[in-house]
Amino acid sequence: MKKGIHPESYRLVAFKDMSNEDIFITKSTVDTKETIVVEGVEYPLVKLEISRTSHPYYTGKSKLIDTAGRIDKFKNKYAKFKK
């Protein structure tokens, strides 16, 4: 590896999957202002929409999540083309 191009500020960070509330802790340099206490230890918190515990590729289950009414918006937009 080249010297001096990789960050030096790795620390333990908690990543939380907001779709199923799963939390995993790993090293990262990501900046965040939120924190969370896990097993009595406070970690910086990064919120994720999807992770390995909720992604259909890893779980083998297809799950439909309509976060902002996108399905209804799509159906309304293309309803005029129905025969």
Whether residue 18 is predicted with pLDDT greater than 80 in this model: the reply is yes
* Residue 36 covered by a domain: yes
Whether residue 82 is predicted with pLDDT greater than 80 in this model: the reply is no
Q: Running DSSP on this structure, what letter comes out for residue 23?
A: E
* Residue 70 covered by a domain: yes
Domain tally for the chain? 1
* Residue 66 covered by a domain: yes
* Residue 3 covered by a domain: no
Element (H, E) at 74: helix 70-78
CA-to-CA separations, 80 to 70, 74, 75, 76, 77, in angstroms, rounded:
17, 11, 9, 8, 7
* Residue 16 covered by a domain: yes
Name the percent of the chain in helix, strand, coil, to the closest 5: 20, 30, 50
Note the pLDDT of residue 43. 95
Whether residue 80 is predicted with pLDDT greater than 80 in this model: the reply is no
Domain range spanning residue 48?
11-80
* Residue 54 covered by a domain: yes
CA-to-CA separations, 78 to 37, 64, 81, in angstroms, rounded:
46, 20, 6
Nearest C-alpha neighbor of 14 from the set 31, 29, 36, 33 = 36
* Residue 47 covered by a domain: yes
Whether residue 42 is predicted with pLDDT greater than 70 in this model: the reply is yes
pLDDT, averaged across the chain: 81
- At residue 62 the predicted structure's pLDDT band, cuts being 50, 70 and 90, is low
